[in-house]
Amino acid sequence: MSKASILVVEDDPPVRNLITTTLGMHQYEYLVAGNGQTAIMQAASHNPDVIFLDLGLPDMDGVDVIRKVRTWTEIPIIVISARSEEADKIEALDAGADDYLTKPFSVEELLARLRVSLRRMALMKSADHSDPVFRNGALTIDYPAETASLGGQELHLTPIEYKLLKLLAKYEGKVLTYAYITKEIWGRTTESELASLRVFMATLRRKLEPDRDSSQFIQTHIGIGYRMLKVEEKQW
């Protein structure tokens, strides 16, 4: 089975060489682009499985590349950038990026983020959208019945908690920003909705993870948003 192909968009030769060398050592195919325009053309013509994208490109901002690519494809985009401010991360994720890795980074984390993105896309491609049941570890969501259970025991969720759970499950493995979630759930983003999101997410997590030592379903990205993690069945 052939490995996935990765488009590496990076204008700094040492960083680009580190990434491509790492990919080559793990038998991934890769393409390279040193600027935004080339990246957009490569993405359109080669349809890679994942894009690694630097934001500080010489001809255009990487966020504009994300917006452009998102007009025709849902290819996972992992931002790799020296910009570490929350505002930069939020802007990139709201534009359509799937993940954000801050320089300097370890190759182990790079590969782990890549595997998560590939797994999410594989699940999306193989899923039958008429499938009425979502499963993640011991968590089951029965969409027609509008119920969720954990380890066979039904969870008693409020309507908002259930909507939040469905939204996170839909984008399993992807970071969803506070703004995106509040717009999807309440139709707007104000301080009131942001405060409500924190409250509802806290109660949802207590129901999903009653035991502090149990597996974590929802990962918090402080100042940015939330992500549903893939939980292995064996952990339960």
Which residues pair with residue 6 across a beta bridge? 30, 50
Q: Burial of 185 by CB count in 10 Å (0-12 exposed, 13-18 middle, 19+ buried)?
A: middle
73 with 92, same domain: the answer is: yes
pLDDT at site 126: 61
Whether 117 and 12 share a structural domain = yes
In sequence order, the 6+-apart residues with CB closer than 8 A to the CB of 20 are 8, 30, 32
Q: Are residues 90 and 154 in the same domain?
A: no
Q: Do residues 19 and 121 both lie within one domain?
A: yes
Predicted TM-score (pTM) of the model is 0.72
Residues 213 and 106 reside in one and the same domain: no
Say whether both 142 and 202 belong to one domain.
Answer: yes
Q: Based on the domain organization, do 155 and 221 belong to the same domain?
A: yes
Distance CA 233, CA 33 (A): 39
Could you tell me if 112 and 12 lie in one domain? Answer: yes
Output 233 or 51, whichever has higher pLDDT.
51
Compute the average pLDDT of residues 80-105.
Answer: 91
Work out the pLDDT band at 165, boundaries 50, 70, 90: very high
Beta bridge partners of 226: 176, 220
73 pLDDT more than 90: no
Average pLDDT, integer, range 75-101: 91
CATH code assigned at 223: 1.10.10.10
Domain end, chosen from 58, 92, 125, is at 125
Residue 121 sits in the same domain as residue 14: yes
- Identify whether the C-beta of residue 20 lies closer than 8 Å to the C-beta of residue 30: yes
pLDDT value of position 1: 42
Q: How confident is the model at residue 127 (pLDDT cuts 50, 70, 90)?
A: low
pLDDT band of residue 192 (cuts 50, 70, 90) is confident
Torsion of CA 12, 99, 43, 129, to 10 degrees: 170
Say how far apart CA 85 and CA 71 lie, in whole Å: 26
* Domain extent at residue 148: 128-235
Helix (H) or strand (E) holding 65: helix 62-69
Q: Which residue has the higher pLDDT, 235 or 182?
A: 182
75, 96, 125 - which closes a domain: 125
Number of domains in the chain: 2
Name the domain boundary from 125, 140, 160: 125
User: How confident is the model over 191-198, as a mean pLDDT?
Assistant: 88
Residue tagged 């580190």 (tokens): 18
Looking at the fold, whether 69 and 155 belong to one and the same domain comes out as no
**What pLDDT, on a 0 to 100 scale, did the predictor assign at position 64?**
95
Residue 128 has pLDDT above 70, yes or no: no
For residue 235, pLDDT over 50 is answered with: no
- Computed over every residue of the chain, the mean pLDDT equals 88
> Are residues 92 and 25 located together in one domain of the fold?
yes
- Domain match, 136 and 119 both: no
Q: Write the DSSP symbol of residue 131.
A: -
Number of H helices and E strands in the chain, helices first, is 8, 12
Q: What value does the mean pLDDT take over residues 6-22?
A: 96
| 110-114, 153-157, 202-206, 210-214: least confident range | 210-214
Q: What is the CATH number of the domain that holds 37?
A: 3.40.50.2300
Share of the chain above pLDDT 70, in %: 92
